[in-house]
Amino acid sequence: MDYTYNANKPGVKDQIVPLALNACGVRDTARTLKIAKGTVMRELKKSPAHKNKYIIDNIEADNMAKLEVYFVLGTEWDECWSYVGSKEQQRWTWYVMERRSGCILAWRNGRRKEEVLQQLIDEVADLPIVVCHTDDWAAYRKCLPAHWRHEVGKANTWKIERKNLNFRTHIKRLQRKTICFSKNEQIHDNVIGLYIETYYFKHGVFSASTQTSTQ
């Protein structure tokens, strides 16, 4: 017995997301797997998580031993520019990262407006955040809660800026000088979200835990 259509074969659809997260566009993936472009798009339209449930569940359960004692939340905040269709249709990826581990706590995509930043703040409002490091954009001063210590300056946001470079290197649609850009806003957002969920949610905690135990 054999399938007429490649996408029905076991394991073929499972390769779509890994290819998208390793600089393959929709057409690249369809050509490589010998499946229809529509099949790739439908798979990439499945929504990823916006916030790190692994971290939140353990904090709510007071399971700090699993998170390691260093996990006092000092955070870096930043936004990364991209576009969908044309440069007039700008799309910004906002995310907040725990400084020590490099673990991303939550993310949002949208315009570079205060309401999108507020959505991101709402995602992490219940976490025990102590300090926020940001650049000098005025919206951070206006929107960040007063009980979070706010420190401004590029000297303290270099880790998250380095992550922005990782995003652009690994995700084809975010590269600055290329003809490969997103045409579908939902797929654009989901690929970024899947990348964060795959590499920077739970993974970041384990990486930092390993480094702490070996030092």
Dump the DSSP string for 165-206: HHHHHH-GGG-SS-S--BS-HHHHHHHHHHHHHHHSSHHHHH
* Mean pLDDT estimate for the chain: 82
Q: How far apart are CA 71 and CA 157, in angstroms?
A: 18
What integer pLDDT is reported at residue 99 of this predicted model?
A: 82
- Per residue in 55-71, pLDDT (tens digit) is 777 666 665 544 433 33
What integer pLDDT is reported at residue 121 of this predicted model?
A: 92
What integer pLDDT is reported at residue 77 of this predicted model?
A: 83
Query: Buried (b) or exposed (e) across 63-79, using 16+ Cβ within 10 A?
Result: eeeebeeebebbbbbbb
- Per residue in 98-139, pLDDT (tens digit) is 887 788 889 999 988 999 999 999 988 888 888 899 988 889
What integer pLDDT is reported at residue 207 of this predicted model?
A: 45
Model confidence at 215, in pLDDT bands (50, 70, 90)?
A: very low
Task: Delimit the domains of the chain by residue range.
Answer: 6-44, 53-214
Model confidence at 157, in pLDDT bands (50, 70, 90)?
A: confident
- Locate 60 and state its tokens: 């709510």
3-class SS of residue 106? strand
CATH fold of 53-214? Nucleotidyltransferase; domain 5 (3.30.420)
